[in-house]
Structure 1
């Protein structure tokens, strides 16, 4: 029952998929990050289903790419994209660390977030448009893998502040069990991708980990550690970057 509740908490927090409602407590959040990557598994499965639909009904490529970009936004409600936009506004403000943290909490959006969200959208569109079938299947695994590494960052990374959503998640999590669970899930995802698309699996694990480390270093310098917005920023950057890499190479 505890793990079932953790599953519901994870999908309620990180997706728009309807879940049973109940009052959460700290016990229910101990293991919820283990199920965070499974939101990515749902997105990846829907992307693969879209690919099969495209092949079955000969869908125009532009429509296929647009729908492929829309699926993550529909499933998550733009949860991670919101974090990406906040981080871009904060970093490009060139203000002090304290002021940057305040910008992350500001509900208003600035010019830099709009500019950069359009930029990553165009890059993602280009990458998807250039992909072949095997590359697209490899990209489907990026949603699960990015969330696995993001969860590990939340557990093990330095926190920028001792309040907020990410701090509560990390504080209430059973660190060792969640960390081991995420590592096992990451390995399973990598092995599965190696079986389905070997070359893309190697690229995916290398770049996913490298982007994760780069994001952590950048966050430590800009904010003094990881925040919930930074974790969302990482997910968006990884998915878009892998789309571009798979599309080009």
Structure 2
């Protein structure tokens, strides 16, 4: 229960006004169940599908629900990551930009294109005849499972901050096993409820994304930070929606 409350406290806007234990077991549990927080956000977003709205309005609301319920946490990481990477500065300067609460021009441009692109892609996917509501629930599930796996297998870029603190408290081996189980569960549901070819393709995209994104953060930042992990969620969700668009169109 402490792990669930910690996950809600750190990764959602749900108010958990309670001092919770920050022990190794609780932190490990928090990351192990984190993908189900994403599934819960996706399940709430599925309610939008029951309204008789246009595909564009429905897609906008699905994206909005994800941003609002997560408190814009991952979107903020995406903005900071964009500012840092497109500054083309050295690594030390990039870390300074990541820690800067101000938003730069590159961050603004990147998030505008991200939101507009995501809404358009989701609108096209939900307009397809073979669209299934399970995609709305499982894409946030997969993005959080990927975040957890990336965090477990990649060193932190800094020796300070929440990411470094949680990394030291977390049992990485347990979290890796949990993440692997989450992927099997999610892909099994996709194959069972829709099409096994879609499940196989999504599995390939997940593996490719993890390898490419991990290589990218190591090359440009020397490891992961909270902002980079948040950005991975936004990047991957767009990649998965785009994959579905190509498969269902």
- In the superposition, the TM-score normalised over structure 2's length comes to 0.91
**Residue 9 of structure 1 pairs with residue 6 of structure 2:** yes
Q: What is the match of residue 215 of structure 2?
A: 217
Q: What is the match of residue 72 of structure 1?
A: 66
Match of 1:244 among 239, 242, 245: 242
Match of 1:161 among 133, 158, 163: 158
SS at match of 2:224: coil
- In structure 1, distance between residues paired with 2:55 and 2:123: 7
Q: Unaligned stretches of 5+ in structure 1?
A: none
- In structure 1, distance between residues paired with 2:68 and 2:192: 29
4+ residue runs over 6 A deviation? none
**Residue 135 of structure 1 pairs with residue 128 of structure 2:** no
Give, in angstroms, the shift of residue 34 of structure 1: 0.6
Give runs of aligned pairs for residues 1-249 of structure 1, distance below 5 A: 4-19=1-16, 21-27=18-24, 28-51=26-49, 53-54=50-51, 58-131=52-125, 132=128, 134-135=130-131, 137=133, 138-198=135-195, 199-249=197-247
- In structure 2, distance between residues paired with 1:136 and 1:236: 21
- In structure 2, distance between residues paired with 1:202 and 1:164: 37
SS at match of 1:31: helix
Give, in angstroms, the shift of residue 18 of structure 1: 3.2
> Deviation string for 1:75-114 (max 9, x for gaps)?
1011001001111000000100111111111100100011
- In structure 2, distance between residues paired with 1:136 and 1:124: 18
**Root-mean-square deviation over aligned CA pairs:** 1.6
Q: Unaligned stretches of 5+ in structure 2?
A: none
Contact kept, 8 Å, 1:127 with 1:246, in 2: the verdict is no
- In the superposition, the TM-score normalised over structure 1's length comes to 0.91
Count of aligned pairs: 242
Contact kept, 8 Å, 1:43 with 1:72, in 2: the verdict is yes
- After alignment, is 136-145 or 159-168 more displaced? 136-145
Structure 1 residues 164, 136: CA separation in 2 closer, same or farther (over 3 Å shift)?
farther
